[in-house]
Structure 1
Amino acid sequence: MQCQHCRNGAYRMNLSTEKITGILTTAGKHYIARKALEDEGLTIHQMVLANVPHLSDADARDPDMPIPPDVQIVYRRYIDIKGFLDDNTVAWAVTLDQDVGDFDFNWIGLLTQDGTLIALDYLPLQRKRMGVNNVVTRSFVLRFAGAKALSRIDIPAQSWMFNHNPHLNALDLNAAVQARGYFENCLTLLKQLA
C-alpha cells in the first residue's frame, strides 16, 4: 500500500491508487440496481471467509460463483466498521480477535441481511491462529458508481485504515539509538572507573 504522512504523524493508507481485485457478483449487481431504484440504500451485513479447495488468487473471479458450502466456510462475522475512500469506493472491515481461530482461508465474500452474495474475492492462503497478539483486521474494498451515496457511508475509511509499519520502524530505530547511547555511557563510565 502507498502511504502518505498526515498532519499528526500517523501514516494512512492511500487505497485510491491500489488495485482492487474483489468483484461484484451478478446477484450483487442486480441487488445494488434494485436498491438504487428503490432508494433503500445498500447495507452489507456479514463478511464470510472460506477455504475453497483448488482456488487460486490468480484465477479470474467468477461473478456467478455461489457462496461456498457450509463445510468450506471457516468464519462469519458481522461488519465491524465501514468507510468511504471516495464517492465510488467503499470499504467494510471485520476484526478477528485473538480468541478466533485456528483456520485458513482463501475466499472472502460480502453478504446482505437476506443472504445475497454482493461481492467476492480470491486470496492467497491466509492463516488465522488463535492466541495473544494474533488479532487480524480484514477489509474488503469495492468500487462502483455512487458507492458512497448508495451505501450511506459518511465515515472516511482513512480514519481507521492505517499502515503502522513506518511508525513501528521509527520506534525500532529510536530504541536502537537509545540503547546505543546507554551502552556508550556505560562504557565511558567503566573506562573512568578502571
Structure 2
Amino acid sequence: MNIAIVKYNAGNTRSVLCALQRLGYEGIVTDDQKALESADRVIFPGVGEASTAMAYLREKGLDQVLVNLKQPFLGICLGMQLMCARSEENNTTTLGIFDVPVRKFRLTCEYKVPHMGWNTLSCKQDNLFMGLPEKRWCYFVHSYYVPLCSSTIASTEYGSQEFTAILHRDNFYGCQFHPEKSAESGEMILKNFLEVL
C-alpha cells in the first residue's frame, strides 16, 4: 500500500512513520502533488501553528490539492484543524473541508491550556471504530478545539467544554488527538483507516 504523509513544515511525521511501521506498513513524507494524488492513503499530521502551516501549503499549491483528494484522508491534531474553515489561531483561513471554526480554549484557571493528557471518546457508529476497546483512551495535546457539529463522529470533554474528537465527511477524517500516541485505541483507529475504509 502506498501511504503518503503530507510534508508542510509541521512536526510529528516521525511518530506517524513509527506507528505505521508497528502495523507493518511504510509511508513516505512528501509535498509532491503527484505523489499525494496517487497515494492509496494520505495522512495529514501536525504539531505547529496554523498560519505558518497554511502559508507553506499555499506556497506549494497543496491547499488546492488536498481538498480534491478522493482516497481515504486522515488529519491529525493541527492537520484536523487545518481541514476546518478557519482558526482563531492568528485568525487563519484554513482549507474548508469541514465548514466549522476552530476555537481557542477559554477555561477556568483549574484547567490548564494546552489540554494535555488522556481522555475517553464517545463514538457514533463508523467503520473507523471497528474493534475499538470498550475503554477508548486517546492522547490529546492542543490549545484549540473544534466545536461539535454535524460531521462530529466522536467527542470528548475538557473541563466543561465538550468538543469534537473526530470529524468525518466523505473520504475525509480528522482526529484532534494523536492516534499514533494513543496505545491500543489509536493503533486500532490507524489500522481501520488503512485496512477497512
TM over 0.5: no
TM-score (norm 2): 0.27
- When normalised by structure 1's length, the TM-score is 0.27
Q: Give the structure, 1 or 2, with the largest relative contact order (CA under 8 Å, sep 6 or more).
A: 1
Whichever of the two has the greater Rg, that structure is 1
